[in-house]
């Protein structure tokens, strides 16, 4: 019997009517002969409302109490959904994260799953029940309730799918899948039928917004993740090990358009290139255009160049949990160096304070910062071994009058830091220039 883990997001269970609708969908899956574990988020904006409420009581709510408070949102949705399933005549039971055996570390508000003890879930499945698990929560070794960080129910779902060795994990949300660019910016953005885990990590903001840790987990444990709308039966996006053979077996049972067409695999699988002969160079190997408008830049000017410099600058940022993205260091002829790097805009004030202190100690000339930047990236595993993508990207931006401030690359991504005022235009230019509007 196939085992399917389904996750329903907050908007899919926002009110009683929607909960009953979701229950009907789940019932149909069980009727088709599958064992089903369901993971739910809190109803609608419940989590935001609980956070707001806490802040009306306390300026800095106690971390442990905050997590216990937030965990109640998912208890409400999971129990109500279970009642709806029972009303429809299905055997169903709800379990809190701790009851489902989800163990975490002790970082309140952003706990990481340390292990899952799936015995109880297994027992309920063996008894023929649909198991509804409250997402986003777990329990520490000291029996304190933790939450996994905003949007963490995706990670609960994929972790449970991995622990139970489920056939696949289905994430149901209010958009129809993952797109070649943000559909709110590019009207011609297309839904992607299938995508690899690494690419998906880079594209996590396009269309359905997924908790990045769920994609990482999926990649490590090879859990096929299918993302689709709970409001329609339109085929969504399959995230899996693209081009590795067993793809079709994983996709069995999904709506037909989600099954990769051989043609489409060619477009994003490097190994399939050889079969395409002369057309090879015409292939579109960019999968999507990622965009992040929340970028700020800090430059430390003319620091005396010596070993330990970068370490001294970045250690305090790491200690403050500020993540640094693009870093550019360039040494001039005069034994001093400029170091520029980006952080998220929200982290800018704290980062500047830490860096200014350190820059003075290191003998730097000064620190300057700017907030209004954005990162635009082309993403695609097919770019790995093919030169020319970077220059084509720069040419497209140049033709559109977009100035590039910083550049970084990874094996499957090329990112340019640009002025935010030109960001949305840049996304459209690249989407058109790399012909992502044509399949």
- The site for Mg ion (CB under 5 A) is made up of 10, 41
Q: From Mg ion, ligand ASP, none, which one binds at residue 104 (CB under 5 to 8 Å depending on kind)?
A: none
Residue 292 binding result from ligand ASP, Mg ion, none, given CB thresholds of 5 to 8 Å by partner type: none
Footprint on residues 36-65 left by ligand ASP (CB under 6 A): 41-42, 47
Q: Which is nearer to ligand ASP, 276 or 294 (CB)?
A: 294
Pairing mode, strands 288-304 and 168-173: unpaired
Rounded distance, CA 276 to CA 269, Å?
Answer: 11
**Shortest CB 39 distance to ligand ASP, Å:** 9
Tokens 């409302």 belong to 49
- Does 358 participate in binding ligand ASP (rule CB under 6 A)? no
Q: Which residues contact 17 (CB under 8 A, 6 or more apart)?
A: none
Task: Output the six-digit token pair for 164.
Answer: 């139970």
Binding of ligand ASP by 10 (CB under 6 A) = yes
Report the b/e string of 71-108 with b at 16+ CB within 10 A.
bbbbbebbbbbbbbbeeeebebbbbbbbbbbbbbeeeb
Say what angle helices 348-362 and 309-319 make with each other, to 10 degrees. 150
136 binds, among Mg ion, ligand ASP, none (CB under 5 to 8 A by kind): ligand ASP
Options 30-38, 151-159, 188-196, 249-257: segment touching ligand ASP (CB under 6 A): 151-159
The set of residues, in sequence order, having a beta carbon less than 8 Å from that of 31 and lying 6+ positions away, is: none
The nearer residue to Mg ion, 47 or 269, going by C-beta atoms, is: 47
Nearer to ligand ASP, 155 or 266 (CB): 155
Binding site partner of 152, from Mg ion, ligand ASP, none, Cβ cut-off 5-8 A by kind: ligand ASP
Contact 210, 236 (CB under 8 A): no
Answer with the entry of Mg ion, ligand ASP, none that 235 interacts with (C-beta below 5 to 8 A by kind). none
- Alpha-carbon distance of 146 to 109, in angstroms, equals 7
Task: Choose the stretch contacting ligand ASP; rule: CB under 6 A; options: 51-59, 148-156, 216-224, 430-438.
Answer: 148-156
Whose tokens are 């998912």? That residue is: 74
CB of 240 to ligand ASP, least distance (A): 22
264 touching ligand ASP, by CB under 6 A: no
> Per CB under 6 A, which region of 107-115, 145-153, 376-384, 389-397 contacts ligand ASP?
145-153
| The only residue of 6, 11, 153, 340 in contact with ligand ASP, by rule CB under 6 A | 153
Q: Does 86 bind ligand ASP (CB under 6 A)?
A: no
Size of the site for ligand ASP (CB under 6 A): 11
158 vs 203, beta carbon nearer ligand ASP: 158
Indicate whether 77 belongs to the interface with ligand ASP (CB under 6 A). Answer: no
Q: List the single partner that 73 binds among ligand ASP, Mg ion, none, CB under 5 to 8 Å by kind.
A: ligand ASP
Q: Which does 179 bind (CB under 5 to 8 A by kind): Mg ion, ligand ASP, none?
A: none
Q: Strand 366-379 vs strand 288-304: parallel, antiparallel, or unpaired?
A: antiparallel
Residue 210, phi then psi, degrees to nearest 5: -105, 150
The least distance separating Mg ion from the CB of residue 151, rounded to whole angstroms, comes to 6
Asked if residues 193 and 263 have their Cβ atoms less than 8 Å apart, the reply is no
Contact call for residue 6 and ligand ASP (CB under 6 A): no
User: 63-87 and 16-31 helices cross at what angle (nearest 10)?
Assistant: 60
List Cα–Cα distances, 249 to 124, 245, 252, in angstroms: 27, 8, 5
Residues in contact with 159: Cβ distance below 8 Å, sequence separation at least 6, in sequence order: 102, 113, 116, 214, 217
What is the binding site for ligand ASP (CB under 6 A)?
10, 41-42, 47, 73, 135-136, 150-153
């Amino acid at each position: 019997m196939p085992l399917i883990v389904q996750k329903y997001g907050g908007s899919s269970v926002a009110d009683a009517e929607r909960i009953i609708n979701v229950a009907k969908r789940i019932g149909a899956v069980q009727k088709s002969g599958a064992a089903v574990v369901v993971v739910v988020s809190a109803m609608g904006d419940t989590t935001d409302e609980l956070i707001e409420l806490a802040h009306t009581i306390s300026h800095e709510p106690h971390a442990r109490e905050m997590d216990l408070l937030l965990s109640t949102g998912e208890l409400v949705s999971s129990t109500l959904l279970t009642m709806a399933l029972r009303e429809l005549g299905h055997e169903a039971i709800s379990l809190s994260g701790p009851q489902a055996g989800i163990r975490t570390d002790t970082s309140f508000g952003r706990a990481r799953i340390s292990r899952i003890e799936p015995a109880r879930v297994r027992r309920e499945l063996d008894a023929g029940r649909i198991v509804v698990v409250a997402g986003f929560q777990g329990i520490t070794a000291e029996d304190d309730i933790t939450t996994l960080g905003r949007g963490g129910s995706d990670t609960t779902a994929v972790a449970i799918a991995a622990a139970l060795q489920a056939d696949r994990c289905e994430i149901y949300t209010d958009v129809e899948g993952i797109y070649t660019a943000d559909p709110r910016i590019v009207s011609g953005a297309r839904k992607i039928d299938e995508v690899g885990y690494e690419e998906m990590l880079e594209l996590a903001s396009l269309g359905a917004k997924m908790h990045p840790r769920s994609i990482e987990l999926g990649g490590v444990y090879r859990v096929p993740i299918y993302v689709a709308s709970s409001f329609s039966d339109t085929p969504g996006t399959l995230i899996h090990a693209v081009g590795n053979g067993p793809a079709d077996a994983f996709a069995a049972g999904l709506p037909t358009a989600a099954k990769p067409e051989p043609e489409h695999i060619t477009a994003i699988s490097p190994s399939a290139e050889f079969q395409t002969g002369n057309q090879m160079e015409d292939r579109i190997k960019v999968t999507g255009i990622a965009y992040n408008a929340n970028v700020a830049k800090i430059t430390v000017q003319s620091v005396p160049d010596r070993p330990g410099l970068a370490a001294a600058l970045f250690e305090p940022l790491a200690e403050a949990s500020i993540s640094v993205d693009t870093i550019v260091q360039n040494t001039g002829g005069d034994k001093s160096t400029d170091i520029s790097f980006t952080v998220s805009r929200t982290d800018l004030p704290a980062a500047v304070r830490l860096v200014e202190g350190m820059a003075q100690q290191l003998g730097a000339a000064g620190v300057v910062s700017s907030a209004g930047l954005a990162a635009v990236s082309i993403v695609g595993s097919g770019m790995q071994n093919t030169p020319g993508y970077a220059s084509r990207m720069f040419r497209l931006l140049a033709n559109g009058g977009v100035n590039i401030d910083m550049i970084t690359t990874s094996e499957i991504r090329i990112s340019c830091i640009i002025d935010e005022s030109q960001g949305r235009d840049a996304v459209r230019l690249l989407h058109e220039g790399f012909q992502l509007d044509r399949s």
